[in-house]
Amino acid sequence: MPQKNIILTGFMGTGKTTLGRLLANQIGYEFIDTDAQIEKQIGQTIADLFQTQGETAFRKLEAKLVKELAKREGLVIATGGGLVLNPKNVATLRKTGRIVCLTATPEEILTRISKQQDVRPLLQEKDPRAKIIELLQQRTSVYQQFPQLSTSKQTLEQLVDKLLELINSNS
Ligand code: S3P
């Protein structure tokens, strides 16, 4: 039986990596984080890549990685938050599995990313909260094409259960 991939997308700080890793563990799939994979491939952090080569170079690497991952199965993939802005990436990933979008409020996003070590180049602004709101507004229509799972006020265990329900109900 082919094992369809499970793809978690959504804005920065919505818990894709944390939840994805847990889910993969629980169902015996391999976990892939696209940002971490790119960093491994180029030997540079995403923040450094943005600085030295710009966002366009990063988006090209994302698209290349999507094509590689689409050849595989049995994966839980946590995407970078902007990966699904490219419709080609979405079309390719859809062929290999189910895409679910995680959501959180701007306040939760800000709190979560402030606690993390990873630098988010797109949020290096005087007012990161305003930038989060602006980007969320720009991206709403893209994110809304996927089934949504709110990560607010829920334990990770509850979220994994809900995620599995969502994926199974749509299969
Ligand atoms: C981005 C999200 C980041 C990373 C890059 C750009 C975005 O990943 O890919 O900084 O455009 O939303 P996370 O969503 O894992 O933070």
pLDDT, tens digit, 9 for 90 and up, residues 26-63 = 999 999 999 999 999 999 999 999 999 999 999 999 99
Ligand 1 atom closest to the CA of 14, numbered from 1: 14
What is the distance between the alpha carbons of residues 64 and 94, in angstroms, rounded to a whole number?
16
The predicted pLDDT at position 117 comes to 87
Residue 109 lies in a domain: yes
34 contacts 10 by C-beta, under 8 angstroms: no
Residue 159 lies in a domain: no
The predicted pLDDT at position 3 comes to 87
Q: Whose CA is nearest to atom 8 of ligand 1?
A: 80
Q: Whose CA is nearest to atom 2 of ligand 1?
A: 81
Residue 162 lies in a domain: no
Query: Does residue 62 have its Cβ closer than 6 Å to ligand 1?
Result: no
Contacts with 120 (C-beta within 8 Å, 6 or more apart), sequence order: 12, 47, 113
> Which CATH number covers residue 145?
3.40.50.300
Residue 170 lies in a domain: no
The predicted pLDDT at position 170 comes to 60
Query: Does residue 106 have its Cβ closer than 6 Å to ligand 1?
Result: no
Residue 72 lies in a domain: yes
Residue 142 lies in a domain: yes
Domain containing residue 101: 5-151
Q: Whose CA is nearest to atom 12 of ligand 1?
A: 81
The predicted pLDDT at position 88 comes to 98
Residue 145 lies in a domain: yes
Q: Taking Cα atoms as reference points, which of 121, 81, 73 lies closest to residue 102? A: 81
The predicted pLDDT at position 169 comes to 84
Query: Which residue stretches of the chain have pLDDT < 70?
Result: 1, 170-171
Q: How many domains does the chain have?
A: 1
What is the distance between the alpha carbons of residues 108 and 114, in angstroms, rounded to a whole number?
10
Pick from 18, 51, 122 the residue to mutate for probing ligand 1's pocket: most ligand atoms within 8 Å of its CB: 122
Ligand 1 atom closest to the CA of 47, numbered from 1: 10
The predicted pLDDT at position 57 comes to 98
Q: Whose CA is nearest to atom 4 of ligand 1?
A: 80
